[in-house]
Every structure is written in C-alpha cells, then in structure tokens.
Amino acid sequence: MQHLYLGGRDLSVLPPEIGKLTQLRELRISGTKLRALPPEIGQLTGLRSLDISLNTLETLPDEIGQLKSLEYLDVYGNSLRRLPPTIKGLTQLMHLNLSGNKLVHLPDEIGELERLEFLNIRVNQLEALPLSIGRLSQLQKLFMGLNKLRSLPNTLSQLKALTEVYTGANPFGHLPRVLTKLPALASLDLTSTGLTRFPLELSRLPHLRILNLRNNPIGSVPPEIVRFNQLEGFNVSSCSLTQLPKALSRLSKLKWFRAADNQLTHIPPEMGQLTRLELLNLSGNLIADVPLTLCSLQRLKSLNLSKNQLTYFAEEFVHLPSIQHINILANPIEALPKGVLEARFVHKDRKD
C-alpha cells in the first residue's frame, strides 16, 4: 500500500501499527479529530506526503524528523504551540503549511529546511521570525499574514528566490525595509498593516507585478506611481483616497485595479489609456459620472461601479468587446438606456 486516506471519520488516536506500513508514500488524515501522532510515524521513512490538517494536534512527535523522504507536510488548522527541533531532519521538504495554529515562535532549526519552496505560517500568534529563516535559499512563497509581527528580520534579504510575500494583518505600522531588498519579488500583500503613507520604496523592486495595499490609511497615491511600471495588479481599496493621480494611466501593463470603498469623486479620463485593463472596481465611492474615455478599454471584462453617486450610465459600455460583467447597483440612476436595461450581464437596480 502506497496511498492511505483516512479523512472524514473520527480517528482521535492513530494506532502504533501505522509504523508497519513502510511502503506508504502518501498519508492523509484530515478532519478526523486526531489528537496525537504516535512515535511510530517515524518509521515511514519512504513517506513523501503527509496531510494531518484540520485536527486537534497540539504537538508533533520528535520522530517526525525521521521522515527523510517527506516533501509535503500540511498541518493546517490544528492547535500546535511549538514545533520540535527535530523538524530539521526533513531535508527533502519543499511544502510546509503551518497556518491556523497557535504557534508563538518558530524554532531556529527551521532554517535547515534547505529545499523548502513554500512556507505558510498564516493565522498564528507569532511575534517574530527566527534569523535562520534567511537560510531558506530555495523559498519562493511566504505566507505570514494574521500574526503579531511588528518587524521582519534583515536576514530575509538573503532569500533571492522569493517571489510572493503575503504579510497582511500584521501590526507593522510602517514598511519593513527588508521587503525592498528582495530582488525576485513579484507579488506583495500588505493588507491591513497600518501603513500611513504610500510605500514608494517598493519601486526599487524591478519585478513587482502585484501590489495589495488594501485597508491602510495612506490617504493618497502619489504621481510617482509611474515608477511601478511593471504592475499588473494594484489594490488600494479602503485606503482613505479622495482622488486618483493622472499618472496612474501610465501603468501600461495594468490588468486589474481595485480602489473600492474610498472617497473618490471622479475617475481621471486618462484611465482610458490603460488598454490592457481587464478588471476595474471602484465600488463604494462618491463618483457621479463615468468618462466615456473608458470606452477605449477594449479588454475590459469586469466593471464594478456599485454604491456610488451615478445618475447616468452610458450604453456604450455594454458594447465593449470583452465585457462580461457590469455592476451599477445602489446608484441614484433614474433612467437607463434601453441597451443597458436589456444587457443580462449588467447588475442594476430595478425601476418599477
């Protein structure tokens, strides 16, 4: 037997006989109310994938470090408070999911996982990351949102392969400067991190394509946004914005833009120059009219202008060649053109 799936049933205790299944390559024990792993788990030295997510584990046995062939370990949604130092024995591990636990710190030995490419430590109680994290030279994706982090170690700058970082809902209050020293970084999520100004320092990242600043009171997007000329996705929803800069139109590679739930009163006509734009979400603002220059957005698939102050919506927008979804709900529009009324992909208020 090489694959064993035990999910979806009550199995609070795993019998020690599990250690006799030495041919196992994949073991899934998800959502079974499992309370502990027996030491015999360490006898499965050929195991490559172990999924013990959504259980009630508070610890992992020291013998977990004997799984020398393990490449994938998912411990999401348990009650772990610590990791055993023996985790350093997982020398082949590439994917580690520790999200949704009660970890207050990570052991220094985590830096020994030299083949690790994916690390998820979201939704824990971490106040700091170990300096040894800088030794994870193969790490490409790091998820660390919803913790208690106020700073990041400078050793993070050693992660030259890191392309995606998700830090949302940590109380930084400022931009951790080490994030500007990640040369391969392509996607950065800083949602709800207490930023009070736009982090222009991130323009030093030559490959940054996705930037999420949602729910930070930055107040404005400066004209220097033009320095971010590789951006394909940009989110500044709930950022206390009152206007958008004309310079936004010079982000020629932009494919999606979200600036919902601000206090915007108008849309710069120059945004019609964003010819690669596929999604535009400006819902929850104070916008009273939509410039017809946006009809130049020939690739636009989704347009959300709900919860604004629109009194009119032009029929031209329903004839955009790529459009699939338009939302103009909750606007004081008294009458809609026939073409808008008949378009099935337009979400609108009924005027009976």
pLDDT(60) > 50:
yes
In a domain, 146, yes or no: yes
Would residue 334 count as lying in a domain? no
Are 133 and 116 in contact, with CB atoms under 8 Å apart? no
Asked if residue 215 belongs to a domain, the reply is yes
Average pLDDT value for residue range 253-274: 98
Residue corresponding to tokens 């914005």: 241
CATH number at residue 118: 3.80.10.10
Structural domain includes residue 134: yes
| Euclidean distance between CA atoms 331 and 10, whole angstroms | 51
Please tell me the pTM assigned to this model.
0.95
**Among the listed ranges 2-11, 168-177, 209-218, which one has the minimum average pLDDT value?**
2-11
User: What are the pLDDT digits (tens) for 290-348?
Assistant: 999 999 999 999 999 999 999 999 999 999 999 999 999 999 998 899 989 989 999 98
User: Tell me, what DSSP letter sits at residue 341?
Assistant: H
Count how many domains the chain has.
1
What does the pLDDT look like over 74-127, one tens digit per residue? 999 999 999 999 999 999 999 999 999 999 999 999 999 999 999 999 999 999
pLDDT-based confidence at residue 352 (cuts at 50, 70, 90): very low
Percent of the chain with pLDDT over 90: 93
Express each pLDDT in 148-184 by its tens digit. Answer: 999 999 999 999 999 999 999 999 999 999 999 999 9
Ranges 1-5, 87-91, 203-207: which has the least confidence: 1-5
Domain range for 176: 3-290
**Bridge partners of residue 189, in order along the sequence:** 166, 212
Other CB atoms within 10 A of residue 29 CB: 22
Q: Is residue 336 part of a domain?
A: no
- Is the residue at 303 inside a domain? no
Burial class (CB in 10 A: 0-12, 13-18, 19+), 6: middle
28's tokens? 């899934």
- DSSP symbol at 119: E
263 is a domain residue: yes
Query: E strands of 78-177, at which residues?
Result: 95-97, 118-120, 141-143, 164-166
Tokens linked to 95? 């994917």
For residue 255, is pLDDT > 50?
A: yes
Rounded to an integer, the average pLDDT of 230-250 is 98
Nearest to 350 by CA among 320, 323, 329, 327: 329
Over residues 9-26, the mean pLDDT reads 91
Q: How far apart are CA 65 and CA 154, in angstroms?
A: 28
Residue 279 lies in a domain: yes
